[in-house]
Structure 1
Amino acid sequence: MFISKIFIVVLCIASALGGAFVSSIVVSISTKCVTAERPTPTDADKKFEARKNDWGPSEDF
C-alpha cells in the first residue's frame, strides 16, 4: 500500500512537470504568430458604433 502511494505521488509530480514543459513549448511557439489585421468596418458596424450608449429601455424594436 505504501509503494502505491509513493507511485501516485511520483506520477503526479511527473505529470505536472511534463505539462509545464509542454505548455511552455506551446506558448513559445504561439508568441511567434503574426498579428491579424483588423478588417474594414461594414455599414452595420458603423451604425452599431454610432448608436448612443445609454442605459434605459430598449428602442427601435
Structure 2
Amino acid sequence: MIHLPFCVAKRTNKGYRVGQVRNRSQLENHKTGQPIKPDTRTGRFMDASDKPFKGVRKEK
C-alpha cells in the first residue's frame, strides 16, 4: 500500500469526513449512472460505486 498523506481527508467516525480528498474527482457514468473516480495523473478510471464517494469533489 502506498501512503499518500497529502490526499487523505480526516475521518470523524461519524459517517462523514472533514475536508476534501485532494487530487481526486468523481464524475457520473452516463450509461450506468454510477459515480466513477478517475486518476488525475493518468486519466484512467480507478473505481466505481453505487453511492457517491465521500469527500471527493464532483465534476460536471
TM class by shorter chain equals under 0.3
Larger-Rg structure = 1
* Highest RCO, 1 vs 2 (Cα 8 Å, sep ≥ 6): 2
The TM-score with structure 1 as length reference comes to 0.15
Higher strand share: 2
Higher helix share: 1
